[in-house]
Amino acid sequence: MIAADGQRAGPGTIGVLAVASAVLVFLVAPVVIIVIVSFSGADYLTFPPPSLSLRWYERFAGAPGWRRAIAVSAEVAGLTTLFATALGLPAALALVRGQFRYKGAAYAFLLSPMIVPTIITAIGLYLFFARWKATGSILAMALGHTVLALPLVVIIIAATLQGFDVRLELAALSLGASRWLALRRITLPLIAPGVLSAALFAF
């Protein structure tokens, strides 16, 4: 096998590519199978499907319960994206740019929802919202999902800020721009792809 630089790939490279390909197939194959089976015309689950049909999609589109479920999911996902990005962006800025005591503790606290088992977090959130009789509301579900999505947003935006050239912002400051103006006109536009990626993960 020839590598991208024109040299012959060694056994190690071939092995890594083989493992990566196997992992990719392992992750993608179930999704592909589900998509194919969704077009099955049979009344039972079988692969490969004996015939092709759109009747399952027709039933799905005609079921009011499913339409309501999609609307609720989209609303929760949208609010979660808004909340997680709005909280994660300043948090990442503070962790990367700020100099304060217990920064490591703050970072660990923000990442704790990724470490603590989800069931523990869910029970805690349920007990919290139950005191306010807000369980089952759209806002409660969005806030609960925000707790789980916030660590990803912080990690992605913090990584983007680590690769940001601070000299560009310093140049703007030296030309008379305020810190807020430099942040709004220089930093945020340049890290926008990272913020967008974080928002997509939160969604």
What's the average pLDDT block by block, 10 residues per block, for the chain (203 residues)? 55 81 87 84 77 80 81 91 92 84 83 85 84 81 89 90 81 80 83 89 87
CA 59/CA 80 separation, integer angstroms: 29
Q: What are phi and psi of 2, to 5 degrees?
A: -100, 130
CB contact burial 56-66 (16+ within 10 A = b; e otherwise): eeeeeeeeeee
Q: Return the residue matching tokens 């999704």.
A: 31
3-state helix, strand and coil shares in percent for the chain, rounded to the nearest 5: 75, 0, 20
Query: Could you give the CA distance from residue 7 to residue 195 in angstroms, rounded to a whole number?
Result: 37
- Could you tell me the CA-to-CA distances from 126 to 102, 132, 150, 151 in Å, in that order? 29, 10, 18, 20
- What is the pLDDT, as a whole number, of residue 2? 54
Cα separation of 76 and 68, whole Å? 12
What does the pLDDT read at residue 6? Answer: 55
Predicted confidence at residue 12, as pLDDT, reads 66
CA atoms within 13 A on the CB side of 144: 22
The single-letter code of the amino acid at 14 is I
Helix (H) or strand (E) holding 168: helix 166-174
What pLDDT does residue 185 have?
A: 85
Q: Which domains does the chain have, with CATH numbers?
A: 11-61 (no CATH), 64-202 (1.10.3720.10)
